[in-house]
C-alpha cells in the first residue's frame, strides 16, 4: 500500500466530517483531488473504505481500521516532531485544538497569541465545536486537545481545570427585565431572542436547555459573533444569553444590562481535555502548561 501522510490526514478529516466534501475543505484539498486520493486508497487496499450514503459517508469496518492506524501514525509523528524540536530549529510542531464558543469568546485568542509569539515553531489549528463533538474528536484521536464544559460526559479523557464559565442574560438598558437581579430561563422564553448561528456550539447548548424547559427560543435573528449579538440587543431587537466575559466586554461600548441566570446549568467550568497529557508531543504539553498557568493567574 502506498498511503502517504496527506492520504491519512484526509481520510481522518473525511471520517470526522462524515463527508468527502467537508473533509477535503478541512484538509485544504480540492474536492476532485480528495476524491481521487480516497479512490486510490481503496484501490491500493483492495477493499472499500467508505460507505457512500445519500447524505455523506461513513467508514466501513476496513475504513475504521485505517482510521485507527492513521491516528496512531499521525500522533507518533507529532510526538517525534515535538521531541526533535527540542534539538533542531526550524522543525514545526502542530497542535489541533477544539473548543466551545465560551472559551473562544473569553480568553483563548489572547492566550494563544501569547503562546504563539513565544513559540514561533508551533502552529495551532483552532476550531469551534460543541462539547460533545470535542470530546468525541479528542477521544477518537482526531484532535490533540479540547476545551469543554465540565457538564459534559468526558468518558476516559484526562482533564485540567481552566476557568469558570457563567452564562448571563443581556437586555437593553430600557428593557423591563433590566431591573431584575436574577431569573431562570423558563421565565424569558416568551421574549424575542437574538441568537447565534446554527453552527455555534453555545447556541446548540442553549437550545437543548430551552427544549427541556418546554419551549424553543423565539429567534428574531441569528448572528455569528457575540459582540454583534450584544449590539443588536442594545438596539432593542431582542434579548440574548451569552458568556459573562463577552457581556462585560460588550457593555463597555453597548447600552446593555446584565441579568444573571439562576439556573444551575448556567454556571459551568471550562476544562482542558486530552486522551493522555503525558503522551502528548512536547510542543502540545507546552501549550497545556501555558493555558493552565494563564487560567491560574
Residue 122 DSSP SS3: strand
Clarify whether residues 61 and 9 are in a common domain: yes
pTM value?
A: 0.66
CATH of the domain at 221: 3.40.190.10
Clarify whether residues 247 and 188 are in a common domain: yes
Clarify whether residues 182 and 237 are in a common domain: yes
- The residue-averaged pLDDT of 200-211 equals 88
Grid coordinates of 229: 449579538
Clarify whether residues 147 and 285 are in a common domain: yes
CB 155, CB 135: distance < 8 Å: yes
CB atoms within 10 A of CB 261: 21
Residue 145 DSSP SS3: strand
> Residue holding cell 502542530?
94
Distance in angstroms (rounded) separating the CA atoms of residues 269 and 101:
13
CA dist 73 to 47, 76, 87, 124, 159, Å? 21, 5, 22, 19, 24
CB 171, CB 180: distance < 8 Å: no
Q: Is the pLDDT of residue 145 over 60?
A: yes
Domain total in the chain: 3
Residue finishing a domain among 34, 57, 84: 84
Strand-pairing partners, residue 194, are: 221
Clarify whether residues 252 and 185 are in a common domain: yes
Distance in angstroms (rounded) separating the CA atoms of residues 108 and 141:
22
| Averaged pLDDT of the chain | 89
Clarify whether residues 249 and 216 are in a common domain: yes
Residue 113: what pLDDT?
95
CATH of the domain at 15: 1.10.10.10
Residue 252: what pLDDT?
92
Per the structure, the complete domain to which residue 95 belongs is given by 89-163+268-294
Residue that wins the pLDDT comparison between 85 and 130:
130
Q: Is the pLDDT of residue 86 over 70?
A: no
Distance in angstroms (rounded) separating the CA atoms of residues 163 and 29:
37
pLDDT in tens, 225-261: 889 999 999 999 999 999 998 899 899 999 999 999 9
Residue that wins the pLDDT comparison between 130 and 111:
111
Residue that wins the pLDDT comparison between 3 and 138:
138
Distance in angstroms (rounded) separating the CA atoms of residues 255 and 22:
40
Q: Is the pLDDT of residue 87 over 70?
A: no
Clarify whether residues 94 and 148 are in a common domain: yes
Residue 186: what pLDDT?
94
Grid coordinates of 285: 504539553
Residue 71: what pLDDT?
85
CB atoms within 10 A of CB 192: 13
Closest CA to 129 of 158, 102, 91: 102
Residue 106: what pLDDT?
83
Strand-pairing partners, residue 122, are: 93
Distance in angstroms (rounded) separating the CA atoms of residues 82 and 10:
22
CB 255, CB 230: distance < 8 Å: no
Contacting residues for 55 by C-beta, under 8 A, at least 6 apart:
none
What sign does the CA torsion over 128, 129, 131, 137 have?
negative
Clarify whether residues 159 and 272 are in a common domain: yes
Clarify whether residues 69 and 32 are in a common domain: yes
Residue 279: what pLDDT?
87
Clarify whether residues 204 and 258 are in a common domain: yes
* β-strands 93-99, 145-149 pairing: parallel
Clarify whether residues 70 and 201 are in a common domain: no
Residue finishing a domain among 33, 62, 84: 84
Q: Where residue 93 falls among pLDDT bands split at 50, 70, 90?
A: confident
Residue 83: what pLDDT?
66
- The residue-averaged pLDDT of 128-138 equals 87
Residue 282: what pLDDT?
85
Clarify whether residues 144 and 177 are in a common domain: no
Amino acid at each position: 500500500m502506498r498511503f502517504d501522510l496527506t492520504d491519512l490526514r484526509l481520510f481522518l478529516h473525511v471520517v470526522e466530517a462524515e463527508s468527502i466534501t467537508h473533509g477535503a475543505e478541512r484538509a485544504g484539498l480540492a474536492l476532485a483531488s480528495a476524491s481521487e486520493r480516497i479512490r486510490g486508497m481503496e484501490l491500493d487496499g483492495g477493499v472499500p473504505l467508505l460507505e457512500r450514503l445519500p447524505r455523506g459517508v461513513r467508514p466501513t469496518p476496513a475504513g475504521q481500521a485505517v482510521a485507527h492506524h492513521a491516528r496512531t501514525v499521525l500522533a507518533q509523528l507529532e510526538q517525534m516532531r515535538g521531541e526533535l524540536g527540542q534539538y533542531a530549529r526550524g522543525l514545526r510542531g502542530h497542535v489541533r485544538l477544539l473548543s466551545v464558543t465560551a472559551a473562544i469568546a473569553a480568553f483563548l485568542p489572547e492566550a494563544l497569541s501569547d503562546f504563539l509569539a513565544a513559540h514561533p515553531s508551533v502552529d495551532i489549528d483552532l476550531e469551534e465545536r460543541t462539547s460533545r463533538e470535542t470530546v468525541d474528536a479528542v477521544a477518537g484521536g482526531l484532535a490533540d486537545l479540547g476545551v469543554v464544559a465540565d457538564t459534559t460526559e468526558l468518558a476516559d479523557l484526562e482533564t485540567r481545570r481552566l476557568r469558570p464559565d457563567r452564562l448571563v442574560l443581556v437586555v437593553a438598558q430600557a428593557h423591563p427585565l433590566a431591573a431584575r437581579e436574577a431569573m431562570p430561563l423558563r421565565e424569558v422564553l416568551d421574549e424575542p431572542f437574538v441568537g447565534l448561528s446554527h453552527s455555534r456550539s453555545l447556541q446548540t447548548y442553549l437550545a437543548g436547555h430551552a427544549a427541556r424547559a418546554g419551549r424553543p427560543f423565539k429567534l428574531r435573528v441569528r448572528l455569528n459573533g457575540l459582540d454583534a449579538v450584544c449590539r443588536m440587543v442594545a438596539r432593542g431587537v431582542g434579548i440574548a444569553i451569552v458568556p459573562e466575559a463577552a457581556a462585560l466586554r460588550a457593555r463597555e461600548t453597548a447600552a446593555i444590562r446584565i441579568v444573571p441566570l439562576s439556573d444551575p446549568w448556567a454556571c459551568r467550568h471550562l476544562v482542558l481535555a486530552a486522551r493522555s497529557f503525558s503522551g502528548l508531543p512536547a510542543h502540545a504539553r507546552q501549550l497545556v502548561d501555558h493555558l493552565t498557568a494563564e487560567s491560574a493567574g
